[in-house]
Amino acid sequence: MSTRDLPARIGDLPAIGRPANGALLEAGITTLDEVARMSEKELLALHGVGPRAVRLLREALDERGLAFRS
pLDDT given for residue 2 in this prediction: 57
pTM of the shown model: 0.89
User: Is 18 inside a domain boundary?
Assistant: no
Going along the chain, which residue ranges are E strands?
none
The segments of the chain whose pLDDT lies below 50 read none
Distance of alpha carbon 45 from alpha carbon 49, whole angstroms: 7
User: Is 22 inside a domain boundary?
Assistant: no
Number of helices followed by number of strands (H, E) in the chain: 4, 0
The domain tally of the chain equals 1
User: Is 32 inside a domain boundary?
Assistant: no
User: Is 55 inside a domain boundary?
Assistant: yes
Inter-residue contact 33 to 39 (CB < 8 Å): no
pLDDT given for residue 9 in this prediction: 78
Q: Which among 34, 38, 27, 39 is positioned nearest to 13, based on CA atoms? A: 34
User: Is 53 inside a domain boundary?
Assistant: yes
User: Is 21 inside a domain boundary?
Assistant: no
Alpha-carbon torsion, ordered 13, 26, 2, 46, to 10 deg: 80
Task: Give the domain range for residue 68.
Answer: 39-70
